[in-house]
Structure 1
Amino acid sequence: MPGEIETRAFVEVRAAGRKLEGYAATFGSEARLGNYVETIAPGAFRSSLAGDVIAMLDHDPGKVLGRTRSGTLRLAEDGKGLAFSLDLPDTQAGRDVLALAERGDLGGMSFGFTVPKDGESWQGERRTLRAIALKEISVVQAWPAYPDTEIAVRAKRDASDAERRRRALILAGATKWA
Structure 2
Amino acid sequence: MTGDTLERRQATELRTTGRKLEGYAATFNSEARIGSFSETILPGAFRAALAGDVLALLDHDVGKVLGRTRSGTLRLVEDTRGLHFSLDLPDTSLGRDILALAERKDLGGMSFGFNVPKGGQSWAGEKRTLSAIGLKEISVISAWPAYPDTSLALRSREGADDSRRRRLILAELGAWA
**TM-score after normalising by structure 1:** 0.79
Cα distance, 1:138 vs structure 2:
0.3
What do the CA deviations read for 1:82-137 (whole angstroms, capped 9, x no partner)? 00100000122211111110111111110000000010011111111110000000
Q: Which runs of 5+ in 1 are unaligned?
A: 147-178
What is the distance in 1 between the residues matched to 2:146 and 2:84? 17
C-alpha contact 1:8 1:111 (8 A) present in aligned 2: yes
SS at match of 2:51: coil
Equivalent position of 1:93 in the other structure: 94
Cα distance, 1:141 vs structure 2:
1.6
Equivalent position of 1:38 in the other structure: 39
What is the distance in 2 between the residues matched to 1:72 and 1:107? 22
What is the distance in 2 between the residues matched to 1:135 and 1:90? 24
Cα distance, 1:39 vs structure 2:
1.1
Identity of aligned residues (%): 73
Equivalent position of 1:6 in the other structure: 7
Write out aligned runs for 1:40-79 (5 A).
40-79=41-80
What amino acid is the match of 1:35? S
Following TM superposition, the consecutive aligned residue runs of length 4 or more in structure 1 with deviations greater than 6 angstroms are none
What is the distance in 1 between the residues matched to 2:25 and 2:16? 14
Equivalent position of 2:172 in the other structure: none
Cα distance, 1:29 vs structure 2:
1.7
What is the distance in 1 between the residues matched to 2:14 and 2:107? 9
How many residue pairs match? The answer is 146
Taking only aligned residues, the RMSD between alpha carbons, in angstroms, comes to 1.3
SS at match of 2:48: helix
What is the distance in 1 between the residues matched to 2:125 and 2:95? 42
What is the distance in 1 between the residues matched to 2:41 and 2:146? 13
Equivalent position of 1:174 in the other structure: none
Equivalent position of 1:173 in the other structure: none
SS at match of 2:26: strand
C-alpha contact 1:38 1:129 (8 A) present in aligned 2: yes
Equivalent position of 1:114 in the other structure: 115
C-alpha contact 1:111 1:137 (8 A) present in aligned 2: yes
What is the distance in 1 between the residues matched to 2:25 and 2:54? 12
What is the distance in 1 between the residues matched to 2:34 and 2:144? 13
C-alpha contact 1:56 1:139 (8 A) present in aligned 2: yes
